[in-house]
Amino acid sequence: MDLQPQPQPTSKHIFKKRGRFVLIVLMLLFVLIGTMSVLLRQQVARAQDGDWPTFLGNDGHTNFNSAETIINPATAPNLKLRWSHKISSHISTQPIVANGLLYWGSYDGFEHASNLSDGSDLWKTNLGQSTDCRNQIHGVLSTAAVASVQIGGVSKTVVFVGGGDANLYALDANSGTIIWQTALGTSPNTFLYSSPTVFNGSVYMGVSAHADCSKIQGYVVQLEALTGTIQHTFNVVPAGCVGGSVWSSPTIDVNTGTLYFSSSERGLCNKHEKMMDALIALNASDLSLIGFWQIPAAEMINDGDFGSSPTLFTALINGTSHNMVGLANKNGIYYAFDRANISAGPLWELRLATPPGPSSSSSAWDGTTLYVAAGTATVNGTSCAGTLSALNPATGVPLWQDCLNYDARSSVTSVAGLVEVAVGTSMIVVDTTTGNQLFSFQDANRKSNFLGPGSISNGVLYQANMDGIMYAFAP
């Protein structure tokens, strides 16, 4: 055993040990602060789980709010008008609930931010109007997406929305001040019916001709959320051709980074335009093509656009789980594909309506069942002006179908146990188990239609109509 005396630490050794101790303490402190910061961010995220921040609720466009518990099958029959707010213009956008405010656009060219308590405007910003060849004036028909963006190292809440002047705008969510705007075409020939989708630091948007009287080269665009700089574009038709407008909105599978969108009308180069009236899959990172599927000639109709946005869902088919994407065409058929190979064609399809009653409603998915509204059809021997259906996701077989008194053009909105849909001049809430109607509201002006989908957030159902009225209902 070594019993030699050990050297005593000098002041230099003590300084080094203390320095290491201080460094360890500082490192632990940074870890603790970082952990607290993450926890705080998670708490904020949880507090906002009940929001409705983008068109059709999320990037997968399921139009379903899983966090909603206040409005449910037990409370839906007790829904009452909490407030209404009227303007002198049409409204067809879906109300967006985020940042403690309600965001919506109107035909007079304004994007609004309203108080949730009474619908009064906190701010409104003019984003322009366009007049089409039929002398119809359109303003903001694009539904906003609200997201946080890091600007100068500071998180800022931003409203992304298509203006009535063919510009995509980024607005300060608190003041409505324009942060940036990017022209995506020339007004009035180009129009932004599409609603933006925000994913991984980019904003995605479809670009369309204005109505059916002008023809442009339809495309999808990816822009940097921070600056509005165009990163990539994907043209539906070749250079020199026109057609393939995109008036639906891009849907993104956030797990695979795949973007799905639908295209519309044919143009002047038919033999080269294989991606018109089609479902198309792109890599969200650079908009490179993955695959596409065009409606077969036998199922095409005149003006047979895809106006609905794709819905992501899942299905167990013959014991195998499939990640699916589905959408309806104006021909009245709902098509369902395996997301991994849409070029192989639909795994199933179902006729929901008989043309010319258009089917442009986007579906809803609540985790077990698909819900979709459509036009003219016959249900159990009864001729119906419109239908609301609950579908088995594996087969498309209806679990139930409701006969509606009007062509349902609005997308279906869902929370646990309920679906809501606008039907002509009224809106209804239906039990998802039975298809029984639990609540209905009839607008006093029977000439004013509900065209946009509703939103259900934090115990309130928001729905606007073409009479310029924003409604809020609560139990």
pLDDT tens-digit profile of 103-127?
Answer: 999 999 999 999 999 999 999 999 9
Across 228-361, where does the E strand assignment appear? 230-235, 251-253, 258-262, 278-283, 289-294, 311-317, 320-328, 333-338, 348-351
Domains 56-83+295-475 and 95-253 share a fold: no
Q: Is the peptide bond before 95 cis (omega within 30 degrees of 0)?
A: no
The token duo for 248 is 């639906």
- CB contact set of 401 (below 8 Å; sequence gap of 6+): 379, 380, 387, 388, 389, 390, 435
Domain ranges of the chain: 56-83+295-475, 95-253
For domain 56-83+295-475, the CATH architecture is 7 Propeller (2.130)
Q: Residues 230-259: what's their mean pLDDT?
A: 95
436 three-state secondary structure: coil
Instruction: Identify the pLDDT of residue 29.
Output: 39
pLDDT tier, 24 (very low <50, low <70, confident <90, very high otherwise):
very low
Looking at this protein, which amino acid is placed at residue 71? I
303 or 220, greater pLDDT: 220
Give the angle subtended at the CA of 402 by the CAs of 401 and 405, to the nearest 5°: 145
Phi-psi region of 350 (alpha: psi -120 to 50; beta: other; left: phi over 0): beta
pTM of the prediction?
0.89
CA distances in angstroms from 151 to 158, 172, 426, listed in the order given? 10, 11, 43
- End-to-end CA, the chain: 83
464 or 274, greater pLDDT: 464
CATH T-level assignment (fold) for domain 95-253: Lipocalin (2.40.128)
Instruction: Identify the pLDDT of residue 271.
Output: 63
What's the mean pLDDT when you consider all of the chain? 89
- CB contact set of 21 (below 8 Å; sequence gap of 6+): none
Instruction: Identify the pLDDT of residue 161.
Output: 99
pLDDT tens-digit profile of 45-82?
Answer: 333 679 999 999 999 999 999 999 999 999 999 999 99
Q: Residues 295-300: what's their mean pLDDT?
A: 92
Give percent above pLDDT 70 in the chain.
Answer: 88
